[in-house]
Amino acid sequence: MGRSPVPNQSDATRSSSPYRAVGPNNETRTIPDRVALRVWVAAGGRCAMCNKRLLDDQYTGAEVAVGQLAHIVGWSTSPGSPRGNAPLPGEERNTADNLMLLCYDQHRVIDNATMWDVYDVDMLRRIKREHEHRIRQLTALRDEDRTTVLRVVGAIRGAGVTVNPQTVAATLLADSRYPDYSLIGIDELEVDLRHLPGEAESAEVYWSTGVAMIQERLRLLRARIDRESVRHISVFAFARIPLLIALGAELDDTTPAQIYAKRRGHGEGWGWVPDALTVDFEYVTRRGGTDPHQVAVMFSVSGSIDIARLPASVDASTTVYEVRPIGVTPGPEIISSPGSLENFTRTWRDLLSHIEVDHPGIEEIDVLPAVPVTAAVTIGRTPMRNVHPTLRVHDRVSDGGYNFTLAVTP
């Protein structure tokens, strides 16, 4: 390819023109205005490879177009023209489809003869397509697509996860939303329960401190909702189930919220499992009790609960209901689609109404959850303030039994 000649003043000026394509020897070709404009706009004024902004000088901010229009298939079939021998009629070489916007450095790289095999036509077309797709997706977002991020992350039996901003951005973008971090705490998360003492031994202080931390952050959220700076909430939750039920009770139910859980067994990522089945739910009376004021609800969703292993406080005087999937065995992936969560929520709401009628005036319900994250938040969020009883939340212990952890008042 030879050494590039040192460009003289007029060449340098010309090659920085946004409407000229630049070749390996700094020769330039005029590209029709409408074609150049199309490529610049599709690329968002940014390099398709490194994403550098090409409309101005990054140090002075001076308005100098520093981008270059680069040919994917070179503009001629001569041996020195990068990828120029690829099949493409001459008249299609100066079209928007065959041009990509690049910074000077990246353009040098792809046009260097030693790199033609690496940056071949297919590779460059893919880079252009992905960059332009991303620009299109991002610039389609409107102010109302902003969502307030609430990450509630704790350890579960010693194990934790990270939810960094890249993960959040990618997850939200797939739902056509973009993140607002105005609730972030002094560290990297909104609610960080990872370093609380007593998690392993399920100490009372663990539950009470955890709930206090959630309540403190949710007060701030409610203040923002009142000022109307929050219109939608995206919850990224990974914590012990009782704390997520407490979280649900604190979440304002007039503001739409999307609960994201870490996916299991379907690759890395957060949110629903693509093409997951919609599961329906039912509630059944598993045992009639002698005292109409004693009610317990077993949620057999992510696993089956053994009615013989209930805590001693849930004795023969207690009526025991069970919420369970219809026609499928409880398992960790039962609620993997929005429809399944909706069905679960409706069943729980129906059961609460049933309890109101059949057990009037009760103040507490014992809750025994074997549920995934999304259902846990829903269990706490569904009961209505001043209408429904307090939930006495138990947590599953390693031998399959249940211990009381905390009380959640709607």
Residues that bind Zn ion (CB under 5 A): 47, 49-50, 52, 103, 106
Question: Shortest approach of Zn ion to residue 224 CB, angstroms?
Answer: 38
Question: Which residue's CB is nearer to Zn ion, number 73 or number 103?
Answer: 103
DSSP assignment letter at 347:
H
Question: Shortest approach of Zn ion to residue 16 CB, angstroms?
Answer: 15
Question: Which residue's CB is nearer to Zn ion, number 102 or number 297?
Answer: 102
For residue 315, count other CB atoms closer than 10 A to its CB: 13
Distance CA 303, CA 308 (A): 15
Question: Which residue's CB is nearer to Zn ion, number 49 or number 351?
Answer: 49
Distance CA 223, CA 217 (A): 10
Question: Which residue's CB is nearer to Zn ion, number 20 or number 52?
Answer: 52
The percent helix, strand, coil of the chain (3-state, each to 5) is 30, 20, 45
> Which residues on adjacent β-strands are paired with residue 298?
322, 368
Q: What CA–CA distances, in Å, run from 225 to 52, 71, 182, 233, 368?
A: 36, 50, 12, 10, 32
Question: Shortest approach of Zn ion to residue 102 CB, angstroms?
Answer: 6
Question: Shortest approach of Zn ion to residue 256 CB, angstroms?
Answer: 39
DSSP assignment letter at 268:
S
257 close to 232: Cβ distance less than 8 angstroms: yes
Question: Shortest approach of Zn ion to residue 72 CB, angstroms?
Answer: 15
How wide is the angle at C-alpha 78 spanned by C-alphas 74 and 81, nearest 5°?
35
Question: Which residue's CB is nearer to Zn ion, number 105 or number 122?
Answer: 105
Element (H, E) at 103: strand 99-103
Q: What CA–CA distances, in Å, run from 337 to 116, 121, 241, 263, 344?
A: 45, 39, 19, 11, 11
Question: Which residue's CB is nearer to Zn ion, number 43 or number 214?
Answer: 43
Question: Shortest approach of Zn ion to residue 46 CB, angstroms?
Answer: 8
Question: Shortest approach of Zn ion to residue 11 CB, angstroms?
Answer: 21
Question: Which residue's CB is nearer to Zn ion, number 103 or number 305?
Answer: 103
Query: What SS3 class is residue 209?
Result: helix
Find where tokens 């100490």 sit: 203
Question: Which residue's CB is nearer to Zn ion, number 68 or number 258?
Answer: 68
Question: Which residue's CB is nearer to Zn ion, number 50 or number 138?
Answer: 50
407 close to 392: Cβ distance less than 8 angstroms: yes
Q: What CA–CA distances, in Å, run from 177 to 141, 185, 188, 222, 251?
A: 7, 22, 21, 21, 20
76 close to 84: Cβ distance less than 8 angstroms: yes
Question: Which residue's CB is nearer to Zn ion, number 67 or number 325?
Answer: 67
Question: Shortest approach of Zn ion to residue 108 CB, angstroms?
Answer: 10
In terms of C-beta density within 10 A (0-12 exposed, 13-18 middle, 19 or more buried), how is residue 300 classed?
buried
Question: Which residue's CB is nearer to Zn ion, number 68 or number 94?
Answer: 68
Question: Shortest approach of Zn ion to residue 144 CB, angstroms?
Answer: 32
Question: Shortest approach of Zn ion to residue 100 CB, angstroms?
Answer: 11
Question: Shortest approach of Zn ion to residue 106 CB, angstroms?
Answer: 4
DSSP assignment letter at 176:
T
Amino acid letter at 98? N
Amino acid letter at 338? P
Pairing status of strand 28-30 against strand 20-22: antiparallel
Amino acid letter at 188? E
